[in-house]
Amino acid sequence: MKAFLTLAALIAGSSAVAGELWTYTPPAGCTAHLTVQSADCTVSHFWTCEGDPAGHQWELTLNGDLGQLLKLIDYEYRWLKSFYPEDGTKEILVSPEQDPASLSELLSRGRDDMDFELLVSFGEGPSEVEGYRGYDKLTGETVVVDGEALLKTQYSMTSTDQDGQLIKRSSGNQFVSERFRIFLGGAERYLYADGSEERFDFSPVLFREPGEHGFLAVEPIFGCGGEISSLPLISSEKMES
């Protein structure tokens, strides 16, 4: 079985078409169960597929700049595989990890430390190994967003290149859904090796499940600077391992 399943086409179009809701169709043999609209002009869809190990989920994120991220996560929310169709970048988890990420440990102990590597391929270029080291910890606060109870976390993560040189440090707050076993972004800060800094608010705003209006909607609706006219298709060829 191919490591990355072939994606069905995005059915996308102009938001100017009054009353129409353009939606995403997951691949054949897969069942979507959640859509999350976030404050940073992104919308994410989550689904499971027949034949995948128990606990595995796929997550597709679309944003107002037409960027996309597709990733495969497991029951512990380890980043097994990620793909960025805009530039063809792929990331694959290097196993075994020095200290695997573990959502179960975070929920049971209130803190999870991690130390792992990703094999990163930049389009047609050579692959490089990037290191990730950091922690997640629960703040003890539960936040209810659109009726969904979320556990607030504090985190810190340092990423380095294959020579051990700093790429970036990230920190801030995120949210965990115990029901769906996923992490969702929050108010976060990125500090890069050149001294530059970026701050983002990835906080979830709206949750939609099957049968609800807006489930699998293609277009993000919060925090967007302008209308989205169209979204590109994801090439199935690039999803092969």
Q: How far is CA 198 from each of CA 97, 169, 191, rounded to the nearest angstrom?
A: 29, 11, 7
pTM for this prediction: 0.85
Q: How much is the pLDDT for 226? A: 52
Give residue 25's identity as a one-letter amino acid code: T
pLDDT tens-place string over residues 35-85:
999 999 999 999 999 999 999 999 999 986 656 899 999 999 999 999 987
Which segments of the chain are extended strands (E)? 30-38, 42-49, 57-63, 68-73, 79-84, 89-99, 111-121, 127-145, 148-160, 166-177, 182-184, 187-192, 197-201, 204-208
Q: Which domain holds residue 111?
A: 30-239
When divided into structural domains, the chain yields a total of 1
Q: How much is the pLDDT for 195? A: 94
Q: Is 18 within the bounds of a domain?
A: no
d(CA 147, CA 115) in angstroms, rounded, equals: 34
Q: Is 47 within the bounds of a domain?
A: yes
Residue 134 CB partners (closer than 8 Å, separation 6+): 113, 114, 155, 156, 157, 158
pLDDT tens-place string over residues 149-200:
999 999 999 999 999 999 999 999 999 999 999 999 999 999 999 999 999 9
Number of other CB atoms surrounding residue 117 within 10 Å: 18
Q: Is 84 within the bounds of a domain?
A: yes
Alpha helices by DSSP H, the chain? 103-109
d(CA 135, CA 130) in angstroms, rounded, equals: 17
Give the angle 36-83-51 at the CA atoms, nearest 5°.
Answer: 80
